[in-house]
Amino acid sequence: ALSHTLCVALCLVLRSEATSPAKSCDKSCFSGTCTNGTCECDYGWVGDQCQHCQGRFKLTDLSGSLTDGPVNYKYKTKCTWLIEGYPNAVLRLRFSHFATECSWDHMYVYDGDSIYSPLIAVFSGLIVPESRRNETVPEVVTSSGYALLHFFSDAAYNLTGFNIAYSINSCPNNCSGHGRCSPANSASGRVYCECDDYWKGEACNIPYCKNNCGSPDHGYCDLTGEKLCVCNDSWQGPDCSLSVPSTEAFWVLPSVKPSAQSSGRASHQALVHSGLMWVVGGKLHRLSSLLKDDIFMFGGKLEVTSANVTDELWVFNIPGRAWSLQKPSLPPPYAVEGHTSHVVELPGGDLVMLTFFGYSPIYSYINKVQEYNIRTNSWQVVSPGGAVVQGGYGHSSVYDEASGCVFVHGGYKALGSNKYGLVDHMYRYHVHTKTWWILAESGSARYLHSAALLSGTVLVFGGNTHNDTSQSNGAKCFSADFLAYDIACDKWTVLPRPGLHRDINRFGHSAVVSNGSMYIYGGFSGPLLNDVLAYTPPSCPAFSNPIACAAAGPGVRCHWVNGRCLAWEPRSSEQVVPAAFCIKSTDNSEERCFRFSDCASCTANTEGCQWCEDRKCISASSNCTVVSRFLKSNPPTYMWRFVIRDYVKTNCRSCSLNSNCQWEPQQQECQAMPGQLCGEGWHHVGEACLRINSSRESYDNTQHYCKNLGGNIASLLTDKRVNFSALLSPQTLSPWVGLRKINVSYWAWEDMSPFTNTSLRWLPGEPSDSGFCAYLERAQVAGLKANPCTSTTDGLICPKSLSARPCKTPCSLRTSCANCTSQPTECMWCSSTQRCVDSSAYVISFPYGQCLEWQTQDCTAQNCSGLRTCAECLERAECGWCGDPTNTGKGVCMEGSYRGPMKTAAARVGPRVRDMVLDQSLCSSDRGYNWAFIQCPACQCNGHSRCVNSSVCEHCGNLTSGTHCQSCMPGYYGDPINGGKCNACKCNNHANVCHVNSGKCYCTTKGIKGDHCQLCDSENRYLGNPLRGTCYYNLLIDYQFTFSLLQEDDRHYTAINFMATPEQNLDMSINASNNFNLNITWSFSSTAGTISGEEMPIIARTNIKEHRDSFSCEKFNFRLHHNITFYVYVTNFSWPIKIQIAFSQHNNIMDLVQFFVTFFSCFLSLLLVAAVVWKVKQTCWASRRREQLMRERQQMASRPFASVAVALDAGSDREELLQAVPKPIAMEPCWGSRAGVLTVLLYLPRVPSGIPPPGQSGMVLSHTHTHTRHYMLLW
């Protein structure tokens, strides 16, 4: 009955707990369930509200949506969605909202079930719908029946993320509201749009034949062919509404049918030849120029995994349809990408290809103009004059043949010390004078845009305008901005964006001019584009009067000539200034002039600036404090010929090209070398330091002298050294040079360099057989002359190497992740492309999102096979997990797709470097293996246990522990992950546990150290042999020691041992802050502690905090056994603890001599102290007495006083004085004035003569106390 009652009570308690209301969550759980006040997230979601995606998802519904979460996505996020349809089904993705960090956070879309499938789009930045039913929101289509979407974000800043809707076998964009969706006549289940009248296209989104093409006067609608307007000869435009010529500009989307081999392209080059547009390269940043029937292609990236930038020059012959590799003579050019090129004719008639700027992985952003001479097949770097310009990547340039000028705009550049970004600069380079000029800025920075020259106007379209670094300001990655630069007026104008029916934002496209129109091809806006846009500007002949002609534009510059309106074109560079017909700007140019920091740029621009001697650039309308005297005598147009140019060097290698500069790694800037870099008396010449001495010495003595200075006799290998020797050495000197005759016919420098490396020449008749050493003869004509080495000459030249800071290996030459990230602030490693790039060039190295994931530290496995757990494996988008048949969590990570593992296909020529094919036999289900791509198997026991309830490890075997058997048991170490083994800790019985991975023992006895507890800490007075015993701290007698085991490193200690060797009776005391066990033994053998039985126990106590004891000579014969040693074992204490221990010796019979010596020493010391104190006391008392007497005297001196006349002796003629009443000479009244002290003058007794005796006074002062009233009556 009792057991039944208890059972019923227990059931009631459990029922009450089960029916009690659960605790609610404070916040909503977006992708999870609330359990006891905490959000339990669904698979693939993380965060306190399950608001962030983090993992892989599989979607199988016919339609649905996917999102990163309801709030801003998380830093360092990787999310993957697989949408599974059925074979060959058409799957459509529509981006209803998308906002990520441009160029850093990407969404990759693959037409298939893995990242090895064709990549069809990469989205980044802002995609903002302009209206509720906006046709510009992109729609991405896959046809394989699958779609894989992979999202990666870095750690800079995050935005609102994305919301993407998908549908399977649905009509594109719901037929855009201009048609109906109908099923196709096939069993595939596909559908198509039946468009309404005057609408065409797959999504019925292209209007045609607007206003019926103005039929019949303007044209007609071709309903049987392309369904477009066919205009009459005098009409033009998409609807034939504009006359020929027209005063209005218009955009059209030409109906171009791409060939079967035509695909989307970006960073290509388009050229027009004989009415055809030729497209060269693509997505590899290789730039081309056209010369007659040849296309010159220079630089760019090679199509290999390393994506090396090349300096190759290829020529394509159009009639012959063949490529040929040119092999120019040395020196080679800079290997660059992101540059522009133009073929121009120099004044002498030579045809050259000019290459402007670009990025070099070795020298960073190049600001140089490289010139390839087609006739001589050679390269050279131009030394331009004019303004100081900064090179960059992804700029645009156009060549105006009429004026001989190249106009360069925008780009991604180095802005200063370790700062990079977009610019809106506009430069002009004159190919004849080789000078730069700074023009007006556009006000809108961009790169990877296009530029074309039409009617005296540079038209700039599109580009990447994102320049945000810490927060988004709304700048788009893909731009459709349309700008016009008026060459005549040096003025920028923003033109209306193309009003076409679909989105045309893009960057990385190309632009060409043909028949008065600009054609834009390709580019990138998520997918690679292969469409064509055409823009036709207003035509100047359409303006019929001078006023309308002058007011034409913007986007065209016209002028009235001989009764006609013609397009304005500059005839020479001198005309390219704000022309007379331009409206003068009223803006104050003072601020714009102030930004120029050098004389050349200050005077080579269109702002109207002047350079002052106080090194300031101000407006020409202002007054300098002191105008530069140089500018007074030299016109500003040509002043740059005499100015030292100062380019900004952006990395160590480019800085080292200038021998007068050195790279500062901390400030990340190129600085001028200090003047005394070589030291006093030395001269900096090239990459060395030279010293000239005028003493007269032999060759051997000169060699010895130079070696004492840390150098050698100078080898004049370079022109710089030769010129230095000719300029600085006096004409009277003929110095030795380091040239020696090696054998009968061979002369070489001291460093064994051949003599042919120098520009020096032998004098006529030399070298003679008169000597084996050479000197520089300066008497008439400078040249070398042979002389015996024992002879003497006037002067010598010594060199020494310059200790400049060496440059580190460029990032592009580092081939491993560890090597790349050894300097995390300098380089970044892209694991998907296996490339190391400079941190300042990551954006331009992967402008189209080619890098799936980058790292700056903590390099993990660089391929799937190096990942050992399923969770790590599925974090990499390219990997899948093959679980072994035991279903215990053991398996192999390998490259794969949703359908199974993949292997590398046989190498073949094609656009993909690494083609992968499906090979399900690598993880065959027939053999019991199971493939996991979306979610790891529930049982994850690392091969050391089976699971109960499918996910709980039943019992961890093989010496493992943990919820997933992922750790070794205490006392064992190893890596049990994925079937790894655990091994016993080898600690020589001095530790119970060790490091779980390395096996390093955590020694439990203080004073024992080593990975296996095999050493004593002898540096800290610990002695012993832990291999056979233990270690002891050697205590000093009559000292107290305190051991504080309080640090985190001491937490494993549970024991400490001491030893002491006394000479006589011993007292011992020990106490601690925690309880401990105590054992004390003694021995007189040197092997104690290592051999059993050598020690004899004395005390054994447990769980104590203190202990005191004495060891007397009666029990331990110290005199007979001089090596008696006591061992104290303190064990079984807990951390933290503080221990104090002391050993002290004492004698039974006091030493009388010592007593008396000590007594008298103390007594004499006491007397000495007393004498000193007494002396100090007397000195203080005397000082105080003197001060008191001084105060008394001062007080007495301050009393009131007065003079009084006294008659001492009166004659007969003054008898009336004798009859008067005597009076006191002074009175001092007391308090209340009722009494007082009177002072009178009295005669002392005298001799009859009236003269007092010698040595005595004749009168005295007498005082008396009297009543005041009586005195007043007498008075």
pLDDT digits (tens, 9 = 90+) for 348-375: 889 999 999 999 988 889 889 999 999 9
1028 within domain boundaries: no
Reference 300, options 343, 267, 344, 342; nearest CA is: 267
Q: Tell me, what CATH number does 364's domain have?
A: 2.120.10.80
pLDDT of residue 646: 45
Same domain, 689 and 629: no
Q: Are 991 and 1052 in contact (CB under 8 A)?
A: yes
Mean pLDDT across 340-344: 94
Q: If pLDDT is split at 50, 70 and 90, which confidence band does 633 have?
A: very low
Q: If pLDDT is split at 50, 70 and 90, which confidence band does 14 have?
A: very low
Q: Is 899 exposed, middle or buried (0-12, 13-18, 19+ CB in 10 A)?
A: middle
Q: Tell me, what CATH number does 1088's domain have?
A: 2.60.120
Q: Are 411 and 847 in contact (CB under 8 A)?
A: no
CB count in 10 Å sphere of residue 1219: 6
Kind and range of the H or E run holding 419: strand 419-422
549 within domain boundaries: no
What's the 3-state SS for 471-485? Answer: CCCCCCCCECCEEEE
Same domain, 239 and 287: no
pLDDT of 1103 over the 50 cut = yes
599 within domain boundaries: yes
Same domain, 366 and 507: yes
Mean pLDDT across 923-946: 93
Q: What is the CA radius of gyration of the chain?
A: 51
Same domain, 711 and 606: no
Question: 771 or 1246, which is more confident?
Answer: 771
Mean pLDDT across 441-461: 93
Same domain, 69 and 147: yes
Q: Which of 760, 783, 801 marks a domain boundary?
A: 801
Percent of the chain whose predicted confidence (pLDDT) is above 90: 41
pLDDT digits (tens, 9 = 90+) for 524-558: 999 999 899 999 999 999 998 988 998 887 888 88
pLDDT digits (tens, 9 = 90+) for 881-915: 999 999 999 999 999 999 999 998 865 444 444 57
Same domain, 427 and 533: yes
Q: Which of 225-229, 532-536, 659-663 has the highest mean pLDDT?
A: 532-536
Q: Which of 170, 185, 220 marks a domain boundary?
A: 170
Same domain, 70 and 114: yes
In this structure, are strands 55-59 and 891-895 parallel, antiparallel, or unpaired? unpaired
pLDDT of 850 over the 80 cut = yes
Same domain, 1138 and 1231: no
1244 within domain boundaries: yes
Give the least confident one: 67-71, 698-702, 954-958: 698-702
pLDDT of residue 533: 94
1059 within domain boundaries: yes
pLDDT of residue 177: 87
pLDDT of residue 559: 86
pLDDT digits (tens, 9 = 90+) for 968-1026: 999 999 999 999 999 999 999 999 899 988 999 999 999 999 999 999 999 898 999 99
Write the single-letter amino acid at 495.
L
Question: 1080 or 1275, which is more confident?
Answer: 1080
Mean pLDDT across 1174-1184: 93
pLDDT of residue 3: 47
Mean pLDDT across 498-510: 89
Q: Tell me, what CATH number does 701's domain have?
A: 3.10.100.10
Same domain, 739 and 601: no
pLDDT of 792 over the 80 cut = yes
Percent of the chain whose predicted confidence (pLDDT) is above 70: 82
Write the single-letter amino acid at 908.
R
pLDDT of residue 629: 43
Task: State the total domains in the chain.
Answer: 8
463 within domain boundaries: no
Distance (Å, rounded) from C-alpha 453 to C-alpha 398? 6
Q: Which of 775, 801, 827 marks a domain boundary?
A: 801
Kind and range of the H or E run holding 817: helix 817-820
pLDDT of 341 over the 90 cut = yes
Distance (Å, rounded) from C-alpha 974 to C-alpha 996? 6
Mean pLDDT of the chain: 83
Distance (Å, rounded) from C-alpha 280 to C-alpha 300? 12
pLDDT digits (tens, 9 = 90+) for 97-140: 899 988 889 999 999 999 999 999 999 988 765 444 444 567 89
1043 within domain boundaries: yes
pTM: predicted TM-score of the whole model, two decimal places: 0.75
Reference 171, options 162, 161, 160, 182; nearest CA is: 182
User: What DSSP assignment string belongs to 438-452?
Assistant: E----SS--BS-EEE
1048 within domain boundaries: yes
Distance (Å, rounded) from C-alpha 1101 to C-alpha 1131? 10
Q: Are 606 and 579 in contact (CB under 8 A)?
A: no
Mean pLDDT across 827-853: 89
Give the least confident one: 69-83, 396-410, 1036-1050, 1149-1163: 1149-1163
Kind and range of the H or E run holding 1112: none
pLDDT of residue 194: 93
Same domain, 780 and 693: yes
pLDDT digits (tens, 9 = 90+) for 1200-1244: 777 887 776 655 555 665 566 677 888 888 887 788 888 888 888
Q: If pLDDT is split at 50, 70 and 90, which confidence band does 1037 have?
A: confident
pLDDT of 665 over the 90 cut = no
pLDDT of residue 1133: 95
Same domain, 229 and 326: no
Looking at the chain, the number of H-run helices and the number of E-run strands are 14, 91
Same domain, 154 and 288: no
Q: Distance from CA of residue 391 to its chain's centroid?
A: 22
Give the least confident one: 278-287, 635-644, 678-687, 979-988: 635-644
What is the residue range of 141's domain?
32-170
pLDDT of residue 471: 58
Q: Tell me, what CATH number does 223's domain have?
A: 2.10.25
Q: Are 220 and 230 in contact (CB under 8 A)?
A: yes
